Structure 1
Amino acid sequence: MTHDTVNALPCPLWRRLLALLYDLLAVIAIAAVMGLVCQIATHGRLFDAQGHALTWWFQPLQYLTISAYFVVSWLRGGQTLGMRPWRIRVTSASGTAPSWRQALIRLIVAWLPVFLLELQTAIGMRGAIYAALGGWALWFAVALIDRRRRALHDIFAGTEVRRIDN
């Protein structure tokens, strides 16, 4: 990492959220390409008429592919596609690149609200989506009170998101 990263300021929450919106576009594209490849691989029999996946491996493969996008981005330069235009970077607490361990912990803790979607059978899809969004809101709300502006997944992983303005 460059010297300006080590001395960079903590990233404000609004920048992180805008970068996350940009990354949402990348995630949608990754999921769409993965869906197309899987449809081709199953000769169009990936979903039934109601839209349910007919294979056990499709959803885990999507999670792994999307997870790889984030982990590889954090390890190779500390930035996802969404972080680049907002000039922010994931670092360790000392300002160096995050380790594999830190990247995996960050990923796992950040993914936890997704599992609230499994509540859909009990509370319906709308309620499950609100539960997951509420979970992420709590994860990021921590950044409003943490003096280094770390979200919950950064606290657990020992990482920070920093501005790299010059």
Structure 2
Amino acid sequence: MYEGMLLLALIFGTAYIFDSLTQRTDAHYLFYASQTVLFTVIGLYFILSWKRKGQTLPMKTWSIGLRTRDNQQPSLKQYIIRYITSWILPLIGAYGVHLLSQYLGWNSVTILIVFAPFLNFVYSWFDKDGLFLHDRLAGTQLVDLKARSSN
């Protein structure tokens, strides 16, 4: 949730700048361009944060670090794979909400899309090591830095 608050500010600021520079007043105008810019800016936020200190600000608050499974700093390629693949389950969930909304004919069902990002947790419940799908695919893992510093 903490990460979401920071992302909200990042998305708002980026969208404001994009809309101001393009003079966009209609959400359909340059829709895919704006989504591409947002996807890229969010990716840069995560990748640069992970590359710089191995964590984002909320991860630092909770003493969580990002490492490879052999306890090394991940490569840039691993950061990129982790970011891109973190969208797989939420996008499938969002599409499922869209289909359900169309099937039922109830636009109000679309509000369920707020739960789509939490689908990343579902995979971890079944993974033998408790990893997220994007960590499994990128060869990374989240580590508890408090536990590591007390040893």
Indicate whether the TM-score tops 0.5: yes
| Partner SS for 2:60 | coil
How far 1:113 moved relative to its partner?
3.2
Runs of at least 4 residues off by over 2 Å: 113-134, 136-139, 141-149
Q: Which stretches in structure 1 are left out of the alignment for 5+ residues?
A: 1-20
Q: Which stretches in structure 2 are left out of the alignment for 5+ residues?
A: 102-106
Code of the residue aligned with 1:53 in structure 2: it is H
Partner of residue 37 from structure 2, selected from 45, 57, 61: 61
CA contact (8 A) 1:114 1:132 kept: no
What are the residue-to-residue correspondences of 1:149-160 with 2, within 5 Å?
A: 149-160=130-141
| Partner SS for 1:90 | strand
Aligned length: 140
What are the residue-to-residue correspondences of 1:106-121 with 2, within 5 Å?
A: 106-116=82-92, 117-118=94-95
Q: Give the TM-score, by structure 2 length.
A: 0.78
Query: Residues 153 and 57 of structure 1: is their aligned pair in 2 closer, same or farther, counting only changes over 3 Å?
Result: same
* Identical pairs, percent: 25
Partner of residue 81 from structure 1, selected from 57, 60, 82: 57
1:40 aligns with 2:15: no
Counterpart of 1:13 in structure 2 is: none
Code of the residue aligned with 2:28 in structure 1: it is A
How far 1:83 moved relative to its partner?
0.4
| Partner SS for 1:162 | strand
Query: Residues 71 and 59 of structure 1: is their aligned pair in 2 closer, same or farther, counting only changes over 3 Å?
Result: same
CA contact (8 A) 2:97 2:113 kept: no
For residues 143 and 35 of structure 2, the distance between their equivalents in structure 1, rounded to whole angstroms, comes to 32
Q: Give the TM-score, by structure 1 length.
A: 0.72
Aligned-residue CA RMSD (Å): 2.4
